[in-house]
Amino acid sequence: MTQHWSAPSAPGPVHSTVPVPGSKSITNRVLVLAALADGPSTVHTPLRSRDTVLMTAALSSLGVGITDREDGGWDVLPGLLRGPAEVDCGLAGTVMRFLPPAAALAEGEIRFDGDPHARTRPMSTVLGALRSLGVEIDGDALPFTLHGTGSVPGGEVTIDASGSSQFVSGLLLSAARFDKGVTIRHDGKPVPSLPHIDMTVETLRSVGVGVDTSVPNVWRVEPGVIRARTWHVEPDLSNATVFLAAAAVTGGEVTIPHWPAVTTQPGDAVRGILERMGCAVEVSERGLTVRGPAKLSGVDIDLRDESELTPTVAALAALAEGRTTIRGVAHIRGHETDRIAALVNEINAVGGNATETEDGLVIDPAPLHGGVWKAYADHRMATAGAIIGLVVPGMSVDDIGSTTKTIPDFPGMWDAMLTGGA
């Protein structure tokens, strides 16, 4: 169900400390590895949102034991994977692309489906790769049915991963359990969001999986054991950027506690982006603190590796002085919605001046007015509208409920931030 929401305006500069839940990207990678490990694992400080709950439900349906902990984490007990099973992917790319390679290790029939828009998201790269590695699958997009035999031969596969880094990560996560492991060769335009692949590689190495990345655009995983371990999930830095943006557009100050000193999360790039737009950025024992300027400056920026930040940067740009050009993000047309078209439509609908380019968008200064900001069932589109609503009265978001994909209670966190109580 959609949930219409009147976006609150900030009464003045926002001053707040905002604790942010765990990373969705890390949580769902950890869950897959824990399900395939050689013993029980514990996951502390995970994100509990629609995407991660869908992942736990899917793994449970395949025979993995996942139990809630009193501290909000999960205990994961691997089991003999089996069907028949029905997997609801929702609109989660990490479920629809990470889980089929793991499910291919099950014995039995597993049917995958998801939200209506999920059926339009690119899947043929992953499914075609699995077929070439010895897996029987009916269909090239959601819904599809996988016929598991209890093992996957594995081997070498060449794919075009220019549409999503998740195509590579999904295959890598389960590769050690394939009979021959996997060698993935990318053949195509540059792979977007490479930090997400780095995240996958580092996560695999932390559980004893050898990953050879010595040749550009080639990833090799030898067959072997995935070790069980205890995990502590970092805060979700991409979700945190929305709250940091509140400081940027109101000339306020927001701190995100426990910002990691070293991370593979692409959201960490927000530090440099905000500095380029005129903010003061400081990392201390308190966390990451951003202080907004009197007026933001436009930027010319390539977000290929940090494309999930595009809606937030576009919202900032709509409120900035000077032109902003965002490049390198053509692949986000295949995300929860066509984010480039959606951002241009919604910025222009509230008086802005945005135009599409082949691989991004251009935003020029223009006076904005209130109106209904459409979320397109996309969590990051919804939060972009909330950012603009801080300084443009009369803004509303037609589906704030879409934010539960990655933030369990975004409206509550937003209100707490505005009162300094987060």
Task: Say if residue 291 carries a ligand binding annotation.
Answer: no
Q: How many residues does the chain have?
A: 422
Which whole-number Å values give the CA distances from 83 to 32, 53, 69, 87, 150, in the listed order? 17, 20, 27, 10, 10
Task: Say if residue 206 carries a ligand binding annotation.
Answer: no
Task: Say if residue 24 carries a ligand binding annotation.
Answer: yes
Task: Say if residue 193 carries a ligand binding annotation.
Answer: yes
DSSP conformation letters of 305-324:
TTGGGHHHHHHHHHTSBS-E
Residues 6+ apart with CB under 8 A from 152: 101, 104, 105, 130, 133, 134, 135, 174, 177, 178, 179
Q: Are 170 and 103 in contact (CB under 8 A)?
A: no
Candidates 63, 59, 65; CA nearest to 100 is: 59
Whether 282 is catalytic is no
Task: Say if residue 380 carries a ligand binding annotation.
Answer: yes
Q: How far apart are CA 130 and CA 148, in angstroms?
A: 11
The token pair at 171 is 């295959």
Task: Say if residue 405 carries a ligand binding annotation.
Answer: yes
As separate numbers, helices (DSSP H) first and strands (DSSP E) second, the chain gives 12, 23
Task: Say if residue 132 carries a ligand binding annotation.
Answer: no
Candidates 75, 80, 136, 147; CA nearest to 111 is: 147
Choosing from 308, 346, 356, 358, which is the catalytic residue? 308
**DSSP assignment letter at 374:** P
| DSSP 3-state of 348 | helix
Task: Say if residue 121 carries a ligand binding annotation.
Answer: yes
Phi, psi of 148, deg, nearest 5: -85, 145
Task: Say if residue 202 carries a ligand binding annotation.
Answer: no
Q: How far apart are CA 217 and CA 67, in angstroms?
A: 38
**DSSP assignment letter at 268:** G
Task: Say if residue 93 carries a ligand binding annotation.
Answer: yes
Candidates 314, 327, 270, 322; CA nearest to 296 is: 322
Show binding-site residues for phosphoenolpyruvate.
24, 93, 121, 166, 339, 380, 405
Show binding-site residues for 3-phosphoshikimate.
24-25, 29, 164-166, 193, 308, 335
Show binding-site residues.
24-25, 29, 93, 121, 164-166, 193, 308, 335, 339, 380, 405
The residues annotated with a catalytic role in the active site are 308
